[in-house]
Structures are given as structure tokens and as C-alpha cells.
Structure 1
């Protein structure tokens, strides 16, 4: 039966009307996946030697067990953001004499063969070979490796249970931050606790049975959850939700653009994809911890600037690159109303500017790392306040692909076109290029000031630039409407 399901999905893919686009996209994603897997392979094969070099007086395997908890929690966070729930076109199957449990088992087994689980194999198996070559107990290493791989599968099924919970996502982020702070500043030995638990599997392979029991429990919970929703009436009836209203009267003080801003705020919070973009903006604030502390980047102000651009511009870049496609489902209706196109665009600009300012305020604790680091954040803030939103809005005039607002915001290429890649070039390359040239000849302070001035000038010229952008949208109006009618 599983082979029959696979054949049906194979036929569905090759008989799709968008076959050419699907193949091209999969080829591109395939190269990207290979690049990531090669990175994981090099990390797995070289982790032992890297740890031995950095901490010559300590056992690399014991240290690895402490660090693996970071990899596992990060893996779960990335799964939450990017891994899709296993699905297939199930409605036709419900009309056929196929047992429901076979459908559910197929979906769950299919999820095991995902890129994330393959990444775990590529990462941990080479590390295990190195351990065996270095004289570690073969039985213990094999048991430890199998335990980690089964734990990865457990996270695969945990993700499906918590995937729709924003609370669970927040807990994971906080837990990861606590782990890092406890390790960095030696507040309490959480990493040592988890490291000892993992190392105990190496010393006592019988503990491997715990991972099998946990995997069986999680598989059963997922089986029960999916079985409870796979019914014909549940598949065809429309989801009914009580409409929730929010008191956004405080926005009225802004002026004529307030109604558009209210609609944008409701759209962001009520839809999964826009909400993901909003929440991920705060995740980019953590980039500073990486770029300011990692040995590879902490002495490179150029790469630190790269991280600072994301810290304050995360929302402007991720939200702005899909304007006006966020409104694609009701874009035709908007264009038939007696509404000002300029105010429609101004509302987007206002949201991006406000969120940039909010993220800048939240980045204030980075003063801890020194004034020079904070000046990079300040430069990135002014650049993202003036330059980035205008570039995003201009390139938005070329967006012609509709967006499914209820789809996941990660690992989802629906609605993506070349414009989303092109628009990132000036936003990321220009500040780094300006910094490199000016810093080389005039020094750090002038380089930071030059980047900030680009943003300030862009902000001061906002009105004439917005006039040009509005004309571009008006010119492409009917092309955009036609594009939003099409289904990917």
C-alpha cells in the first residue's frame, strides 16, 4: 500500500500544470540542500579535532555531549519554523475502501525520510567513526549514536505535536537563550547535566531502550492526533472560527493612513505566514550574540555589520519583500475602491519604520559588548529606517505572485519570485561595500557615519521617492492584478 501511495504522489507531481516550475525549484533547493549537508559532514568529521584543539586538556567526546544539547534544541526550533507537516491529497482516498490507519501510518513514515533527519545522519555518523578510530568503546559509541539518531526522530514527531503553538515556540527560544547564557557566563551547569545524561548512554548501552520507548509513545500520540481529524466530513467542511476584533483605536491618531495600518496589523496577527514573519523579526535580534562572540566573526567588523543589518531590519526585509502580495487575496477588491494608492503604500512604510525603531530599542543591551559594536547597530538602524523600506516597496511593484497567508512562513517558496532575491542585494551589499571602502581610507567612525547618512538622506527624500514608487505601482496595477489571479 505504501508503494501505491508513492506511485500516486509521483504521478501527481509529473502531471501537475506547474511541472516546469516545480522541477526548477526542486533543482535549486537540491543544490542548497547539498551545500548544507556538506557543511554538516565537515562539522561531523572535524568536530572531534576542533574540540581537541580548542580544549586540549579535556575529553572531546565529553565536551561534545555538552554542546549537542544546543544542536538538538536548535534542530527543534528550525523544524518548527521550516519543516512541513506530512501531507498528501487525502480527500479522494477517503472515498475509497482504504483503512484510515494505513493513510496515517503512511504520512508518519513519510515524515521520517525528511531532509532534517538526513542531516542528523550526515552529522553524527562521521563523528561516531572518528570516535571509534580514536579508540573509544565500539559498543558504547554505536549505542550513543543510535540514541542520538532516535532522539532526532523523536523531535520529528514532537514538532508535529507543537507545530501550531506559539507558546511552545517561545519556550524553545527562551530555553535556548538560557542554555547559552548559562554556558557563556557559567551561571549554572545545565549543559553539564544534559552532557552527563547523554554520556551515560555510552557508558551503559542498556539505556538505549529509553529512546525506543519515547519514540513509540510520540508515534502513537501523532497517530491518535491525525486519526482524529481524518474524516470525510472533517476534510470537506469549512473551518468555522469566531471572528475576533481588536481595539486599535489608538492608531486613529496617525491620520488618514490609519485605516490601512489597522488592516495591516490585523492581517499580520490573524494569519500564520505574516505572524511568523513578525515573530521571526525578534529572533534576528539574537544575531548579535553570534556575530559579536563567535571567534570567526568577533574580530571582523564587516561581518558584524552584516549581522547588525539583520538585527534592526529583520521585519522590514522579510515583510517588505512580499509587498503587496500580502494583500493578494483581496487585491482586486482594494483596487475597485475609491482609495488612495499612496496611503496604501504609506501604511506599509509606516509599519516597517516603526518595527525597525522597536527592534533598535530592544537591541540596546548590546552596549554590553562595547560602544564600537553598538555604533554598528546604530548605523544599521538608520540605514534600515530610511533606505531599506523604500527599496523593498519599489521592488514590490514587480511582485506578481499571490501568497497563501495560512501557509507556513518557512520552507515555503509559494509566492516567491526572482524579485525576492534581487531586492536583498542592495540592502545587504551596499552598506558592507560602503563600510569596506570608507573604513579602509577614512577609518571606522567615518565609515559608520557614512552608512547612517545613506539612511538619513533616504528618509529625508522619502516623499519624492514615494511619488516615484506610487507611479510604478500604478503603471503595473493591472499586471499585478492578473498575476494575483493565478494559482501557483
Structure 2
């Protein structure tokens, strides 16, 4: 039966109507998968020797164990955003004499072979081999390796249980941030404390049984939950959802833009694709923590611009690059309404501008890393408002691909075309080049002022720029309607 299921999966993959259309995206995803696999493999082989050379007074295994909390929590966050429960086209199978238990076991078994589960092994297995070769106790290393493999599978099944629970996702983010800061300020070394548990597994490999029990428990819970949901009547019955109407009356202060802004806010919160993009705001806000604490980047001031543009413009970039494709599902109906197109675009501009200013305010604590950082972030905010908002709105006139709002954003290239890749140059690269060149030739202060002045010029020319952009949208109006009517 398993071979039959595999055969069906193989045929479904290659006979899919979208296979030839998405082959480019599959090749791109495959390239990234190979890149990360190779990176983890190289890191797994060299990690022991790098740690031994850089920290000769510390045991490499103990040091790695002290950082495993970040790896595990980061893996869960990554899975929450990216991973989907592998599904089969089970509706036709439910009318056949095939036990539901076999279908469910196959779905869960297939998830165990997910790339998300295999990626970590490219680090753990080579690292374990090097440890054994360097004289570590073989039984202890194998117990440690088994624990890491079991934890990877536990994360896989745990993710399926909490995948739609935003409270758990928030808890993981909080744990990651709290763990970092309590260690950074020498309050309590939480990662090292958790790492002692993995040290204990190395000393007593029999403790790996705990994780076997945990894995079995998670598998059983997933099995029971999924089996209860696999019913034909549940699949074919019409689902009635009660939509909670949030109080958006505060937007009424924005006058004739309020209806459009309300529509966008509801769209963002009610759909998977846009909701995933909203969560990326948290990633952008914390982006600087990957750079500023690292002394390597202390003298690379042009990197401040990259962080500043991205952290204040995360929402602008993720939301703006798919304007007006977010509305592609009802674009034809939308364009038949009696309203000025300029109001529609101005509402998008307003939302993006508010997000840029809000993210700058939330990022003010970055001043902890120096006044230069905050100054560049301020200039980046002005640049985003004055330049990047107009650039991204103009880029939207070339969008021709429909977006399915019910699908997650993770590894989803639907709606993504050459425009989304090309537009990254003026958004991110151009301000870095301008700042870096002037900073090198003149001074840091003049380079920062230049970015801010470019932003203020864009703000001063806002009406003229919006008029030109609106004219371009109106000229392409019927081309977009035709393109959005096409199935991807």
C-alpha cells in the first residue's frame, strides 16, 4: 500500500497542470536547498576545529550544546513560518476500501522525510563523526546524535499541533529574545543551563530514551487528531466561518481613504498569505541584532543602511511589492467601482508610510549600539517614505500575476516575477551604494544627510510622483484585469 501511495504522489507531481508553469520556481527552491545543505555540511565538518582554535580553553561539544537552545527554538520558528503538513489528494481515496489509518500513517511518515528534518542532519552527523574521530566516547556521541535526530522529529510533529496557534509562536519569539538578553547582560545563562541537559545525554546515553518516548507521544497525538479529521463529509461539506469584525473606526479620521485602508487591514488579518507577511515585521524589527552586536560590522558603516532600510521598511517591502496583486482575486469588480484610482494608491502609500514610521519608533532602542546607528535609521526612514514608497508603487504597474490569498507566503513564489527581483536594486542596493561612496569620499555625517535629503525631495515631489504613477496604473488597467483573470 505504501508503494501505491508513493506511485500516486509521483504521478500527481509530474502530471500536475502547474508543473511546467512552476518548474522555474522548483529549480530555484532546489538551488537554495542545495546551498543550505552544503553550508550545514561544511559547518558540521569544520565546527569542531574552528571552536578548538578560537576557544582552546572550552570543550567544543559543551560549547555547541550551550547554543542548542537557539538552534531548537529557531528551528521551531522557522517551521512555523515555512513548513506545511504534507497532504495527499485524499478525497478520492476515502471512497475506496483503504483504511483511514493507513492514509494517516502515510501522511505522518511522509512528513518525517521532510527537508526541514533532513537539513539539521547535515550538521549533526558530520559533527558527531568528527567528535568520534577526535577521541570522544563513541557511545556518548551516538547517544547525543540520536537525541538530536529525535528532537528534530519531535519539532516536526510539535509544529503540526501548534501550527495555527499564534500564542505559541509569540511564546517562541519571546523565549528566543529573553534567552538572548539574559545571557547578553549576564543575568542568567539560560542557553548554557539547557545545554547541561545535552551534556548529561553525552555522559549517560541511556537518557536518549526520554526523547523516544516524547516522539512516540507526539506521533500518537498527531495521529489521533488527523484521523478524526479525515472524513469525506468533512471534506465536501461547506464550511461556515464566523468572521470577527474588528473595530476599525479609528481609520475614519483618514477621510476618503478610510474604506480602502479598512479593506487592506481586513485583507491582511484574514488571509494566510498576507498574515504571513505581517509576521515578517517582527523579523525585520529584530534584524539589527544579527549585525550590531558583532564587532566585525562595527567599522562597516554602510551595513547600517542595509539594516535601517530593511528594519524600517520590512512591511513596505513585503506588502508593497505585490501591489495591486493583493486585490487580484476581485480586481475586475474593484475597477468597476466609481472611485478615483489615485485614492486607491494613496491608501497604499499611507499604510506603508505609517508602518515605516512605526517601525522606526519601535527600533529606537538600537541607540544602545551607538548614536550613529539611530541616525542612519532615521535617514533610512525618511528615504523609505520619500523614495522607496514611490519606487515600489511604480513597480506595481508591472505586476501581472495573480495571488491566492489562502496560501502561506513561505516558499510560495505565486505572484512573484522578474519585477520583484529587479526592484530590490533601487530599494536596497542603491541607498547602500550612495551612502558607502559618500561616506568613503567625504564623511559619515554627509552620507547620512544625503540619504535624508533624497527622502525629503521625494516627499516634496509626492503629488507629482503620485500623479505620474496613477497615470501609469490607469494606462495598464485593462492589461492587469486580463492578466489577473488568468489562472497561474
TM-score (norm: length of structure 2): 0.97
Superposition pairs for residues 302-341 of structure 1, below 5 Å?
A: 302-341=302-341
What corresponds to 2:348 in structure 1?
348
**Greater Cα shift, 358-367 or 95-104:** 95-104
Q: Is the 8 A contact 1:81 1:411 kept in 2?
A: no
**Greater Cα shift, 260-269 or 311-320:** 260-269
Superposition pairs for residues 419-430 of structure 1, below 5 Å?
A: 419-430=419-430
Pairwise CA distance, 1:67: 0.7
What corresponds to 2:51 in structure 1?
51
SS in 2 for 1:256: helix
**Greater Cα shift, 382-391 or 158-167:** 382-391
Pairwise CA distance, 1:303: 2.2
What corresponds to 1:288 in structure 2?
288
Q: Distance in 1 between matches of 2:214 and 2:291?
A: 36
Pairwise CA distance, 1:433: 0.5
What corresponds to 1:357 in structure 2?
357
Q: Distance in 1 between matches of 2:336 and 2:243?
A: 25
What corresponds to 2:265 in structure 1?
265
Superposition pairs for residues 167-316 of structure 1, below 5 Å?
A: 167-316=167-316
What corresponds to 1:122 in structure 2?
122
Q: Distance in 2 between matches of 1:277 and 1:22?
A: 21
Q: Is the 8 A contact 2:73 2:172 kept in 1?
A: yes
SS in 1 for 2:297: coil
Pairwise CA distance, 1:304: 3.0
SS in 1 for 2:89: coil
Pairwise CA distance, 1:282: 2.3
SS in 1 for 2:387: helix
Q: Is the 8 A contact 2:439 2:447 kept in 1?
A: yes
Q: Is the 8 A contact 1:278 1:315 kept in 2?
A: yes
Q: Distance in 2 between matches of 1:211 and 1:296?
A: 38
Pairwise CA distance, 1:296: 3.8
Q: Is the 8 A contact 2:29 2:411 kept in 1?
A: no
Q: Is the 8 A contact 1:287 1:308 kept in 2?
A: no
Q: Distance in 2 between matches of 1:7 and 1:462?
A: 58
SS in 2 for 1:19: coil
Q: Distance in 1 between matches of 2:299 and 2:199?
A: 34
What corresponds to 1:75 in structure 2?
75
Pairwise CA distance, 1:295: 3.9
Superposition pairs for residues 12-27 of structure 1, below 5 Å?
A: 12-27=12-27
Q: Distance in 2 between matches of 1:187 and 1:426?
A: 43
Pairwise CA distance, 1:52: 2.2
Residue correspondences, number: 488
Q: Is the 8 A contact 2:353 2:389 kept in 1?
A: yes
SS in 1 for 2:22: helix
SS in 2 for 1:132: helix
Q: Distance in 1 between matches of 2:385 and 2:133?
A: 54
Q: Distance in 1 between matches of 2:298 and 2:52?
A: 21
Pairwise CA distance, 1:133: 1.7
Pairwise CA distance, 1:90: 1.6
What corresponds to 2:108 in structure 1?
108
Pairwise CA distance, 1:16: 2.2
**Greater Cα shift, 168-177 or 461-470:** 461-470
Q: Distance in 2 between matches of 1:336 and 1:30?
A: 41
List alignment gaps of at least 5 residues for structure 1. Answer: none
1:164 aligns with 2:181: no
Pairwise CA distance, 1:202: 0.4
**Greater Cα shift, 179-188 or 193-202:** 179-188
Task: Please list the CA deviations of residues 414-439 of structure 1 after superposition, one character each: whole Å capped at 9, or x if unmatched.
Answer: 22222211111210111111012101
Q: Distance in 2 between matches of 1:437 and 1:362?
A: 29
Q: Is the 8 A contact 2:385 2:455 kept in 1?
A: yes
Q: Distance in 1 between matches of 2:450 and 2:215?
A: 55
What corresponds to 2:465 in structure 1?
465
Q: Is the 8 A contact 2:43 2:123 kept in 1?
A: yes
TM-score (norm: length of structure 1): 0.97
Q: Is the 8 A contact 1:272 1:406 kept in 2?
A: yes
Pairwise CA distance, 1:443: 1.1
Task: Please list the CA deviations of residues 133-168 of structure 1 after superposition, one character each: whole Å capped at 9, or x if unmatched.
Answer: 211101100110111111011001111111111111
Pairwise CA distance, 1:170: 0.6
SS in 2 for 1:332: helix
RMSD value, Cα: 1.3
Q: Distance in 1 between matches of 2:54 and 2:309?
A: 30
**Greater Cα shift, 290-299 or 133-142:** 290-299
What corresponds to 1:386 in structure 2?
386
Pairwise CA distance, 1:23: 2.1
Q: Is the 8 A contact 1:438 1:447 kept in 2?
A: yes
Q: Distance in 2 between matches of 1:114 and 1:388?
A: 38
List alignment gaps of at least 5 residues for structure 2. Answer: none
Q: Distance in 1 between matches of 2:175 and 2:469?
A: 43
1:63 aligns with 2:50: no
Q: Is the 8 A contact 2:305 2:432 kept in 1?
A: yes
SS in 2 for 1:247: coil
Pairwise CA distance, 1:75: 0.8
Q: Is the 8 A contact 2:293 2:369 kept in 1?
A: no
Q: Is the 8 A contact 1:282 1:359 kept in 2?
A: no
Q: Distance in 2 between matches of 1:131 and 1:295?
A: 30
Q: Distance in 2 between matches of 1:147 and 1:194?
A: 14
Pairwise CA distance, 1:302: 1.9
